[in-house]
């Protein structure tokens, strides 16, 4: 049924890349079109953090473009390191409401609201990104080892 372990790893990597691309590109486009259901949460976090630095409309455009770029970068294995770096910065900001806006993400301090569940599920995205990075690093090491032997 399975051709090899490498075959499975290749498919997992491809699936993770496609999943992250679809999620980030889609959510980024929704922000650019002001259709994102997360916009009120983004606005509340913006007001608590960086409202004095940049107008919200510009920030939302920047965030939407950034998410689209992250999605596209994950499709290109040669840009994995850049994609992971930008993704890491962006994903930290998505976790901020857990601490900065506790009233919007927690019931009684322990049970997450629907918004809280949405945010906590970003851990799955982190797992996908880490899997991609690990696979990319192991392929890079294999290429280096192969080239030094020949």
Q: Inform me whether the pLDDT recorded for 90 exceeds 60.
A: yes
H-type alpha helices, the chain: 5-32, 39-49, 56-75, 80-95, 97-100, 102-105, 114-120, 122-149
Residue whose pair of structure tokens reads 């080239």 in the numeric block:
147
Residue 141: CB atoms within 10 Å: 10
Q: Inform me whether the pLDDT recorded for 142 exceeds 90.
A: no
Average pLDDT value for the chain:
92
Q: How does pLDDT run across 12-55, given as a tens digit for each residue?
A: 999 999 999 999 999 999 999 999 999 999 999 999 999 999 99
- pTM listed for this prediction: 0.87
Q: Inform me whether the pLDDT recorded for 65 exceeds 70.
A: yes
Q: Inform me whether the pLDDT recorded for 147 exceeds 60.
A: no
């Amino acid at each position: 049924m399975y051709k090899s372990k490498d075959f499975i790893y290749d498919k997992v990597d491809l699936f993770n890349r496609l999943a992250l691309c679809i999620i980030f590109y889609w959510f980024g486009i929704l922000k650019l079109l002001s259709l994102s259901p997360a916009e009120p949460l983004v606005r509340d976090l913006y007001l608590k953090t960086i409202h004095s630095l940049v107008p919200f409309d510009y920030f939302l455009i920047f965030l939407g473009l950034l998410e689209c770029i992250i999605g596209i970068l994950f499709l290109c294995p040669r840009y994995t390191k850049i994609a992971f770096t930008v993704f890491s910065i962006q994903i930290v900001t998505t976790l901020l409401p857990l601490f900065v806006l506790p009233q919007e993400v927690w019931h009684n301090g322990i049970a997450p609201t629907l918004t809280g569940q949405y945010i906590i599920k970003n851990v799955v995205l982190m797992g996908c990104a880490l899997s991609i990075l690990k696979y990319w690093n192991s392929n890079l090491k294999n290429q280096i080892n192969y080239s030094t032997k020949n």
